[in-house]
């Protein structure tokens, strides 16, 4: 049965997001995790960043616009984007803006 028909029959969400609230909860958890790691590195510098997992380091370096940090772990920007993956990549602009706005206040 096509998705559009199933939606009209009472299932308006994608089958990969069952239950629909679960997808949002996971995004919120990922957001809080990643912004926490980025804040730690922003406040603590390279020492705070260095203790993070490789995936966290790559994403945080992108958030903080630190190509030098990426280079220090032998990642180019394209490699970092690939390593970060679509879920975290979607969060990066929002987190970068929020951290930037925190500086302004």
Report the alpha-carbon distance of residue 105 to residue 101 in Å, rounded.
Answer: 7
CB 46 within 8 A of CB 55: no
| Domain-located, residue 13 | no
Residue 47, pLDDT score: 94
Question: Containing domain of residue 42, as a range?
Answer: 21-104
Q: What share of the chain is helix, strand, coil (3-state, %, to 5)?
A: 80, 0, 20
| Domain-located, residue 7 | no
Report the domain count for the chain: 1
Residue 20, pLDDT score: 53
| Domain-located, residue 9 | no
Report the alpha-carbon distance of residue 103 to residue 105 in Å, rounded.
Answer: 6
Among 89, 103, 83, which Cα is nearest to 43's? 103
CB 89 within 8 A of CB 81: yes
Report the alpha-carbon distance of residue 34 to residue 36 in Å, rounded.
Answer: 5
Render pLDDT for 23-47 as a digit per residue (tens, 0 to 9).
Answer: 677 788 899 999 999 999 999 999 9
Q: What is the pTM of this model?
A: 0.76
Residue 105, pLDDT score: 65
Report the alpha-carbon distance of residue 13 to residue 23 in Å, rounded.
Answer: 11
Render pLDDT for 48-79 as a digit per residue (tens, 0 to 9).
Answer: 999 999 999 999 999 999 999 999 999 999 99
Q: How confident is the model at residue 103 (pLDDT cuts 50, 70, 90)?
A: confident
More confident residue, 94 or 14: 94
| Domain-located, residue 81 | yes
Residue 98, pLDDT score: 95
């Amino acid at each position: 049965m096509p998705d559009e028909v199933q939606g009209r029959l009472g299932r308006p969400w994608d089958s990969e997001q069952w239950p629909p609230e679960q997808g949002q909860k996971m995004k919120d958890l990922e957001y809080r995790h990643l912004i926490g790691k980025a804040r730690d590195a922003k406040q603590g510098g390279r020492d705070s960043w260095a203790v993070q997992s490789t995936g966290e380091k790559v994403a945080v370096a992108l958030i903080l616009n630190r190509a030098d940090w990426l280079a220090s772990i032998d990642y180019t920007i394209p490699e970092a984007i690939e390593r970060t993956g679509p879920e975290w990549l979607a969060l990066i602009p929002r987190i970068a803006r929020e951290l930037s706005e925190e500086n302004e206040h």
